[in-house]
Homo-oligomer: A and B are copies of this chain.
Amino acid sequence: MGVKKNEKSGERCALQEILGIIGGKWSMSIIYALFSGKKRFSELERMVPNINTRMLVKELKNMEANGIVKREVFATVPPTVEYTLTTKGEKLEPIINELYKWGLEYVN
């Protein structure tokens, strides 16, 4: 009987699933950096302050797996890898901008 813990878990867990994808410490900052167009790995490293290489790799992989960013490799020398937002990722722009505005008004 009743293995489910919570009738509302469907709704609530959806939010948690979302936060599992973009709720981490770095995801939104990376997405924010990508609003201004495609970026190379090293550009993102410079644009997102205090992030370290390992975390940037991890977050990009995670977001790629979740269809938020697209990764394109070009066999140049030195190698070029370009990251862009997918449509799904672009749809986050107004939300992140609103969050940013909220912060300007209420943080500090």
Residues of A whose CB lies within 8 Å of any CB of B are 5-6, 8-9, 12-21, 23-25, 28-29, 32-33, 46-50, 66-67, 88, 91-92, 94-96, 98-100, 102-107
Select A92's contact among B12, B13, B23, B102, beta carbons within 8 Å: B102
Additional A-B contact list (14), CB under 8 Å, known A16-B25, A95-B99, A98-B98: A12-B32, A14-B103, A14-B104, A15-B28, A15-B32, A15-B96, A15-B103, A16-B29, A17-B103, A18-B103, A19-B25, A92-B102, A95-B95, A95-B98
Instruction: Tell me which of B12, B94, B106 contacts A29 (CB under 8 A).
Output: B12
- When distances are taken between beta carbons in the complex, the residues of chain B under 8 Å from A102 are 18, 91-92, 95
Bound-complex Cα distance A67 to B14 (A):
26
Oligomer: number of copies: 2
Contacting residue for A16 out of B5, B18, B50, CB 8 A? B50
Would you give the shortest CB distance from A32 to chain B, in whole angstroms?
A: 6
Closest to A86 in B: B106
Closest to A16 in B: B29
